[in-house]
Chains A and B, each alone.
Chain A
Amino acid sequence: MAAYVHMAFLSNYTVLPRFKGLDNVRGLDISCNEPLFGTAFHSFKIINPYSTNTVGHRIHSVQPDVLFPDLGFCPLVVEDLNIHNPLSDPLRHFWRQEISSWTPYFEKAAESGFALLTPAGEYTRFSLVGKAHPSVIDLAFANPALLAVVKSWEASLPSTGSDHIPITITLASPSLNAKPPRPRWADTDSETLDPIIKGFQVPAAPSYPTPPKLDEWMLESLNRLVALLKQHTPVSRPSHHSKPWWTPHLTVLRREYHKATRAAKKHDTPHMREVAGTSRVGYFKGIKAAKNKHFYPPEPLDD
């Protein structure tokens, strides 16, 4: 394991390697004179273990206690744990020994308040030989103090030659100001609004006005019209995680997809598998259609 730090980063931050006397655990202590990410903390730790397993999936070289310490400042754990679990890879079929293998790690993470950052189903390892199915064995966790500043987890970079692809985790100050509500113009209540617009009277412009007087007339009448339009348009309050293209129909499709997948796992019959497959196809097609509708809306026909 090796860690590379950009020189520009070192001009503002102190980075110290961390060994802890263990062969398979490396870490970095990153500190700064100023509080980091708008929090009260001046430092945080990145713990990066490489856990190998022996005797099937039962014995791992790095124990859970080492990975999820109860530290007062922010730790982030990025790891090649070599364990499979349904939270990060829901579509995988799990052997009994695999389940007993990941349980202690996730129990310890939950006890220490660590949350899994790795999104479900985002594969991080692609076997270079053989026909092994891609898997999610590189997991990232953050404790509650650091979780607030984790902006994104991405595995979009190409492989560097390893069977594991690079993972980018972005940390940034959380936005303290909530985003303003966003009008959903496509859902404007036309039935109610149209009669009001038909009867809308623009106040007469002043004759021979001074520029400030004309500005006042323009602003006042425009604001009145804009307020009327916004009044009849529903708003959404986007969060950092909300998807603007998401629809209530997709929520139903997702629920059905997960329900069918669970049922297929419980009663492994050809019929149930077919239902699960159909609902999966329907769900992902629904996402594609919703994205197309959102990003490439049809041009309205002008009269």
Chain B
Amino acid sequence: MNNVLLEHFFPPKEPSSPLPRLRPHNSVPPLTTEEVATALSMCSPTSAPGPDGIPYSTWKQVNKTNPSILLQKLAPLILLGYHSASLKGLKGVVLHKPGKPLYETPSSFRINVLIRTFSNILERIIAARLLTAARLRGLLHPKECGSLPGLSTYDACLTLTNDVKTLQRPRLKVSSQFLDIKAGFDNVDINTLARIVREGGIPPFLVSRASSFLEE
């Protein structure tokens, strides 16, 4: 069953060609202590830690005592646009989806993944930079609510309700269609994604880092 679940949740990917030597990208804004502190402030001290067992509260204390440690460890990864393979280790907890008549197929389970908290700090910094770049270039749909700070499903519901009522007022017939792409995020093609964001004007170090993050 372990192997079946692993293949379902982590489908094997095409082996990527080995990267040549990594070179620092041009015009990458240097990482600042404020960025690290902001990323840490968004992390809950009670979140379950990943494989190394270090909680966010400990990283907060380390950063408070000596801010240069996290800065010196994270800055090269941002400058080189690379997500280290050593940060990709994770701890997965398999949970039963409630109310299933039989638990014989992988779709009856969900997996709760815990990554290294250190890796998550880097992800928050990158996410903040990616969000700024996407907003500057107008890449976000005005009604986008997913993974954006300050917005949630509640806002998405309100937006939909508002659209429906606006159209109903002049007595128009309104219907909604919802589309769910099965395993959509698991099957994103790295090259296609990189091409789209590059064409959108996202800085190369962020594109390179996103590709590196999604590689096997």
Contact = CB atoms under 8 A, between A and B. Distances in A.
B69 to A, nearest CB: 6
Contacts of B80: 209, 214
Interface residues of B, number: 36
A215 B65 contact: no
B174 interface: no
A219 B84 CA distance: 9
* Chain A interface, >50% SS class: helix
B87 A218 contact: yes
Contacts of A210: 19-22
A222 B73 contact: yes
A190 interface: yes
Contacts of B45: 297, 299-300
A4 B84 CA distance: 56
B77 interface: yes
A246 B12 CA distance: 44
A300 B37 CA distance: 13
B57 A302 contact: no
B187 to A, nearest CB: 24
Interface in A169-200: 182-183, 185-186, 188, 190, 194, 197-198, 200
B196 interface: no
Interface string B46-72: 100000111101101110111011001
A198 B53 CA distance: 22
B41 interface: yes
Contacts of A211: 18-19, 22, 82, 85
A237 to B, nearest CB: 14
A154 B8 CA distance: 35
B86 interface: yes
Contacts of B20: 210
B141 interface: no
A302 B60 contact: yes
B23 A208 contact: yes
B54 A197 contact: no
Given A194-B65, A210-B21, A214-B22, A221 B73 contact: yes
Interface string A222-240: 1001100110000000000
A56 B212 CA distance: 79
A221 B76 CA distance: 13
A22 interface: no
A122 to B, nearest CB: 27
A226 B54 contact: yes
B118 interface: yes
Interface string A42-81: 0000000000000000000000000000000000000000
Contacts of B23: 208
A198 B86 contact: no
Contacts of A190: 61
Contact of B58 (A185, A208, A222): A185
B57 A208 contact: no
B54 A198 contact: no
Nearest to A205: B76
A148 B61 CA distance: 42
Contacts of B87: 218
A219 B51 CA distance: 13
B69 A218 contact: no
A248 B19 CA distance: 55
B84 A200 contact: no
A303 interface: yes
A202 interface: yes
A208 B76 contact: no
Given A209-B21, A210-B21, A218 B57 contact: no
Interface string A67-111: 000000000000000000000000000000000000000000000
Interface in B99-143: 118
Contact of A225 (B18, B40, B57, B69): B69
25 contacts: A185-B54, A185-B58, A186-B57, A197-B66, A198-B66, A202-B69, A202-B72, A208-B22, A209-B21, A211-B22, A214-B22, A214-B80, A215-B84, A218-B73, A218-B77, A219-B86, A222-B52, A222-B73, A225-B69, A226-B52, A229-B54, A229-B58, A230-B53, A302-B37, A302-B40
| 5 tightest A-B CB contacts, nearest first | A205-B76, A219-B86, A202-B72, A218-B84, A197-B65
Given A211-B22, A218-B77, 9 more contacts: A185-B54, A197-B65, A209-B22, A211-B82, A214-B80, A221-B73, A222-B118, A229-B54, A297-B45
